[in-house]
Amino acid sequence: MEKQIKETKHIIAYLDFLGVKKRICSGDTEFINQLKFIYHKAKQNCQKVNSCVDNSKLAPIKQQIFSDNIVFAQEIISKDNVYQVFNFILFVSAYLHQALLAGFLVRGGITIGDLYIDNTFVSGKALVKAYQLESQIAIYPRVVVDFDVFGILSTLDDMIMKNFSLPVGDDLIYCIDGFRVIFKPPGMRIALEKIRKAILEICKYERNFKIVQKHLWVITQFNEFCIAQKQEKYQINVLEDYASVEQLASI
């Protein structure tokens, strides 16, 4: 008989790639190759981070992929978990950036709780809660951070927090800043140009009102980020770059 499953405390990210099922059903070979690439990146990123981990202080980050979803999880083995949570958020943020440039909008949730995960199976209360954050709270292409996780991050000192932010939406929900790339000019400008191009490629005109809402939300968030970085020239003009007045009125 196999060893009995035991859930332990983990930080977990549940990510859903939006629009994947529709594109798979269309038989888009190029898209499927992009999907394979970003899934491979998830495994590659875990291996890269885990190769640098001090196993006496940090557990490895594990991942599970099923359909259009990815789970990242890391067991919490130290009482001092502030920097582990911080680094896990940065890890997920970097992956979101890779996904965006590869042509994917992602919605998800991050929480802390009991979980079991191995190479073939993942289960636990934390998985259910992360899924609920993604499916019921996030709504837009964003990764929502549970209040318990934010509470831990809020104890970081100001020197670290000034280069790291969890934006609060109009609905007072904390989420990962998917556009934050810590580069110095001209690296920042190059990054913004790539992000702008990726968003416009993803957000091709749609008549489906729900999809358009998500596109416009992403564009708004990106434009606000450009303003905050004093890089207004990279903003996306909805009427010129995304859709015409007539198109928007016909939705």
pLDDT band at 132 (very low <50, low <70, confident <90, very high): very high
What pLDDT was estimated at residue 164? 64
Answer yes or no: is pLDDT of 159 > 60.
no
Please say whether the beta carbons of 67 and 22 come within 8 A.
no
Q: What is the pLDDT of residues 139-150, one digit of tens each?
A: 999 999 998 888
pTM for the whole structure: 0.88
Round to whole Å and give the CA distance between 150 and 136.
19
Share the mean pLDDT of the chain: 84
What pLDDT was estimated at residue 1? 47
In terms of CATH architecture, what is 8-178?
A: 2-Layer Sandwich (3.30)
What pLDDT was estimated at residue 172? 78
Torsion angle of C-alpha atoms 57, 45, 166, 206, degrees rounded to 10: -160
Pairing status of strand 106-117 against strand 143-145: parallel
Percent of the chain residues topping a pLDDT of 90: 39
Answer yes or no: is pLDDT of 27 > 80.
no
Please say whether the beta carbons of 140 and 218 come within 8 A.
yes
- Return the bridge partners of 4, or none: none
Answer yes or no: is pLDDT of 183 > 70.
no
Answer yes or no: is pLDDT of 246 > 70.
no
All structural domains of the chain with their residue ranges: 8-178, 184-251
More confident residue, 135 or 189: 135
Between 99-113, 187-201, 233-247, the lowest mean confidence (pLDDT) is in 233-247
Q: What is the pLDDT of residues 221-242, one digit of tens each?
A: 999 889 988 889 999 998 888 7
